[in-house]
Amino acid sequence: MSVPAGQHTVRRHNLALVLGVVAGPEPLSRAGVAARTGLTRGTVSSLVEELIEARLVTELAAARGGPGRPASPLRLDPRGPAGLGLEVGVDTVGACVVDLGGTLRVRRTVASDHRDDVPDAALARLAALAADVVTETGLPIAGATVALPGVVGPDGVLERAPNLPRWVDVAVGPALSTRLGGLPVRAGNEADLAALAERWAGGPPDAVVVSGGIGVGAGILLDGTLFAGAGGRAGEIGHVVVDPDGATCHCGGRGCLETVAGWESLTADRPDAVRAAGRALGIALSGAVHLLDVPAVVLGGGYPRCGPLLLDAVRAELEARVLTRAGVEVRFSALGPEAALQGAATAVVQEVLADPGALIARP
Ligand SMILES: [Zn+2]
């Protein structure tokens, strides 16, 4: 039987509506979902059956004790299609699996230095690690996102990574997809994915989230969504100039933030390295705050390991430079150095929740 195209669209929309309500904090039965969405009970039941068959939703045993017919609460199926997060760092590769309910099931990071390396060997190492974590969880995988330490265009191509000079215009997603049996693999900038992870963990909707490592990047959150810029390149704060006469940067420029606040300078055996990094971060961030009017700054990646000395230096610099009366909240991320990896896996889960029909329609 053929169905008019409009009905397909409505059904797809309603699948997302029902799944969104089931994913909410309150456990609801089919009747509860109908009341919440305004759909008929018959429609909800048919949609729920489809979601159960796709292993996106599971129905728990009925709760006893109350008056009337006991209601069976629905919830996201923790055995359902999960998100695979992958990361190519400057000197690591990582992989993790986040289930449909947002729980991190397994995460592994191994040393793998790419500063003088061509992409092929690293991608083979990463694909092997990915296969390991997927086998370990035993979960079906809906897709993957790979976090990359450089400029990723809207087409998912890693255009340039200043710390990985031999990685130029690399289509990392398709290369990994081939190695992972055709699994859809998207690519994103690591700082952007770390910023999204921050937001999904309940972080502020308007913020600059700085990711500190060998390179320094930022994700910009405006009104709860990522601001990627016209070409997906926004947030390259590591290459904002903080000292025009400063040291030469890997990007070819001079006096970039990364030359003072990147991991190699920060951990150098030099008095006041942390204070100097904090001051440079504060200078670059005051520019970002003035341009974007964001009330919050989150310092992630390796920065929390530097402790209050770094935080105090950033705060002092912002207080001295930023004009807003309310001030800017500056805090460390609580997600740890693998925030980008977790964000990459959660991005897949978020996409499934936003449009389960796309996954169900997949051959
Ligand atoms: Zn630079």
**3 has a pLDDT exceeding 60:** no
**CA 251 / ligand 1 centre spacing (Å):** 4
* Residues facing residue 248 across a β-bridge: 254
Identify whether the C-beta of residue 246 lies closer than 8 Å to the C-beta of residue 255: yes
Comparison of pLDDT for 325 and 53, the residue scoring more? 53
- Alpha carbons 209 and 299: distance in angstroms, whole number: 6
Percent of the chain with pLDDT over 70: 96
Q: Tell me which fold the domain 5-76 belongs to.
A: Arc Repressor Mutant, subunit A (1.10.10)
According to the model, what pLDDT value does residue 201 have? 92
pLDDT band at residue 154, thresholds of 50, 70 and 90?
confident
**CA 87 / ligand 1 centre spacing (Å):** 22
**CA 200 / ligand 1 centre spacing (Å):** 30
Right CATH number for 204-332 from 3.40.190.80, 2.60.120.680, 3.30.420.40, 3.40.50.620?
3.30.420.40
Amino acid identity of residue 64, one-letter, is R
**CA 9 / ligand 1 centre spacing (Å):** 47
* pLDDT tens digits for range 317-344: 999 999 877 789 999 999 988 999 999 9
- 82-193+339-360 and 204-332 in the same fold: yes
Is 82-193+339-360 in CATH node 3.40.50.2300?
Answer: no
- Measure Cα distances from 189 to 55, 225, 285 in Å: 30, 15, 19
**CA 239 / ligand 1 centre spacing (Å):** 4
**CA 284 / ligand 1 centre spacing (Å):** 13
- Alpha carbons 200 and 316: distance in angstroms, whole number: 29
According to the model, what pLDDT value does residue 63 have? 66
* pLDDT tens digits for range 108-149: 999 999 998 889 999 999 999 999 999 999 999 999 999 999
**CA 17 / ligand 1 centre spacing (Å):** 45
**CA 319 / ligand 1 centre spacing (Å):** 26
What are the extents of the domains in the chain? 5-76, 82-193+339-360, 204-332
**CA 293 / ligand 1 centre spacing (Å):** 24
**CA 97 / ligand 1 centre spacing (Å):** 33
- Measure Cα distances from 163 to 38, 90, 184, 274, 349 in Å: 53, 7, 27, 21, 30
**1 has a pLDDT exceeding 50:** no
**68 has a pLDDT exceeding 70:** no
Cβ neighbours of residue 155 closer than 8 Å, sequence gap 6 or more: none
**CA 335 / ligand 1 centre spacing (Å):** 26
